[in-house]
Amino acid sequence: MKKNIKVVGAVIEKNGKILCAQRGQDKSLAGLWEFPGGKIEQGETPQQALEREIKEELLCEVSIKNKITTTSYEYDFGIVELTTFFCELIEGEPKLTEHENIKWLKTSELSILEWAPADIPTVDLIVKGVSK
């Protein structure tokens, strides 16, 4: 039986654009794009995990807004349950520590990237104009 992995992702908005992060070559799903975030640790709420992960991964702070969706995707390494939230950048500029690349894209440009499968439902909702 595959393990269930609960993760969170931040849809960080700034000046009408959304932050997209490319996974490093040394990670699973290497080179695919995702919304930054990570695993929820025991005892954390999804929001607490997201604040912690963004501080650790991007060295900046966000304010967490509305939940977008929760999706589940079965990879070869386990079943990922991803909950995404709209976030606003409140302090610092995202810096590359774990990701290979980051881009700020307009909503209409999101579908040009090759996204990790668990992130695709969130991309689809954002492109369709889900409310913030």
Q: Which two tokens stand for residue 49?
A: 């995990």
pLDDT reported for residue 132: 58
Instruction: Write down the pTM of the prediction.
Output: 0.93
Per-residue model confidence as pLDDT tens digits over 22-73? 999 888 889 999 999 999 999 999 999 999 999 999 999 999 999 999 999 9
Query: How buried is 7 (Cβ within 10 angstroms: 0-12 exposed, 13-18 middle, 19+ buried)?
Result: buried
Helix (H, G, I), strand (E, B) or coil at 105: strand
Q: Mind listing the domains of the chain with CATH numbers?
A: 4-128 (3.90.79.10)
Higher pLDDT, 2 or 117: 117
Closest CA to 37 of 63, 65, 56, 14: 56
Q: How far is CA 79 from the centre of its chain?
A: 16
